[in-house]
Amino acid sequence: MSALPDELVLHILSNVPPRTVWETTKIGGSRQLQSCAEDTLLTHTLPETSLALTFSLSSGSHHRWYDITATLYFCFSRVDPMDKDRAIFAVDHVTPEHCHQTALGKWRRLPNEDIKTFGSWRVKVDSSFCSLQLHDLQARQSVEGEELSVLWRPVFEQYFASVNEDPT
């Protein structure tokens, strides 16, 4: 494998399913292959990754059948330049649209500790959503808007392990 230039290995891996690329980063052996697989995840898979969180807009903690729920959709924005292990996701849109301001208002009032236990996140890495409990999340507001910082490797680890268990 080391006889192949990195450019060729990267091109090959860009045409391999994300799950296979992820598994490649975990196997022992060629450092070149592992490095190229991680680079492929950062340049091809992570930009296609999205997160979604659905929550009640009611003021209480007890959900009732008539409560309005909103979903915040976060799309990948960038890798944190200060910490390459963290991916930054920005709010892309909110559904239902008429609850946009209310949902963002509630999101802004949530402390980071509550975001970690707020609910099940729907994560889309390749072609389907999978419900996961995400940890080590950090919400912040930037000039561009609402952002979420997350360790991307544990997200992929949970996602692919969960997809592996799912028979569909």
Beta strands in the chain (DSSP E): 50-56, 69-79, 86-95, 121-124, 129-132, 138-142, 145-151
Residue 86's identity, in one-letter code, is R
Per DSSP, the three-state class of 128 is coil
Tell me what pLDDT residue 166 has.
47
- Before 96, cis peptide (omega within 30)? yes
Question: What distance in Å separates the CA atoms of residue 37 and residue 27, rounded to the nearest whole number?
Answer: 11
Tell me what pLDDT residue 117 has.
64
Tell me the residue length of the chain.
168
Q: Which residues of 17-38 are buried (b: 16+ CB within 10 A; e: fewer)?
A: ebbebbebbeeeeeeebeebbb
Question: What distance in Å separates the CA atoms of residue 73 and residue 89, rounded to the nearest whole number?
Answer: 9
pLDDT surpassing 50 at residue 168: no
pLDDT surpassing 50 at residue 130: yes
Per DSSP, the three-state class of 89 is strand
Q: Who has greater pLDDT, 168 or 61?
A: 61
pLDDT surpassing 60 at residue 94: yes
Question: What distance in Å separates the CA atoms of residue 141 and residue 83, rounded to the nearest whole number?
Answer: 18
Per DSSP, the three-state class of 14 is coil
Looking at the DSSP bridge assignments, the partners of residue 75 are 50, 90
pLDDT surpassing 80 at residue 102: yes
Q: What is the pTM of this model?
A: 0.85
Structure tokens at 39: 């680079």
Please provide residue 34's backbone torsions phi and psi, each rounded to the nearest 5 degrees: -60, -45
